[in-house]
Amino acid sequence: MKTALITGATSGIGKSTAIELAKHNINLVICGRRQERLDDLQKELSSTVKVHTLCFDVRDKESVFKSIESLPTEFGTIDILINNAGNAHGLDPIQTGSVDDWDAMIDINVKGLLYVSKAIMPKMIDQKSGHIINIGSIAGKEVYPNGNVYCASKYAVDAINKGMRLDLNQYGIRVGAIHPGLVETEFSNVRFKSDDQRADSVYKGFDPLTPEDIADIISFVVTRPYRVNIADLVVFPTAQASSTIVKKKL
């Protein structure tokens, strides 16, 4: 049986991906900052597959490496890495943006992804196989008004994904990215700092993607024959045509 390590597994796309991969008999290392939620998910899935939890913040380099180094032998071989942890903070013009918000987005979306990948890649290189899925965003393909630093962080994910694919090719490691449009998760609640009314308005008037939609796509990608590498995939809800064009009901 294969083993997948998923960051940001306590909610949204990460949690749904863990549930979906368990259906394919893939053992799981689920990672996040909220131990109680990790424990609940472990309890839910342990009757189907083996599940191990790691509680750390991807921004904390030392914690990332210590946590991954602590994996027990039965979870020592990571076949699939889902770099899902990410966030947006604020939606402000660059001239009025918060430096703390900028730091959070760069530290989590870019540096956190790199830390986790750095901890896992040597194992994949040694075994001459592996599959890395980087969860990007349409914001990494199109800059939108007030998106500035968030978009920059996701453009970085897009570039890192391409660089990884080039550098790891010689080791037989598959690398690909999935770039969703509007997915209804806790994303907007975090971006708008728990302003639920503003967050809810983002998804009103149309049918957004769900975390389960993206999890289904991830499971498809990782279960293809090993000769197949889905390198770069953009997915929108039907109502969305670009980062700024969404058909909403009047």
CA dist 175 to 37, 81, 134, 233, Å? 28, 10, 8, 12
Respond yes or no: is residue 226 known to be catalytic.
Answer: no
The amino acid at 78: I
Tell me if 135 sits within 8 A of 17, measured CB to CB.
no
Determine the Cα–Cα distance for residues 181 and 236; give it in Å rounded to an integer. Answer: 5
- Please give the Cα distance from 132 to 135 (Å, whole number): 10
The residues facing 204 across adjacent strands are none
Enter the tokens of residue 118: 């750095």
Spatial separation of the C-alpha atoms in residues 85 and 43, rounded to whole Å: 21
Catalytic residue, from 15, 50, 118, 150: name it: 150
Look at the chain and count its residues. 250
- Calculate the CA dihedral of residues 78, 40, 185, 17 and round it to 10 degrees: 30
DSSP 242: S
- CA atoms 78, 82, 83, 89: torsion sign: negative
Q: Which of 143, 218, 220, 136 is nearest to 181 (CA)?
A: 136
- Tokens describing residue 65: 């490496």
50 as an active site residue: the answer is: no
Q: Which of 154, 203, 247, 249 is flagged as catalytic?
A: 154
> Which residue numbers are catalytic?
150, 154
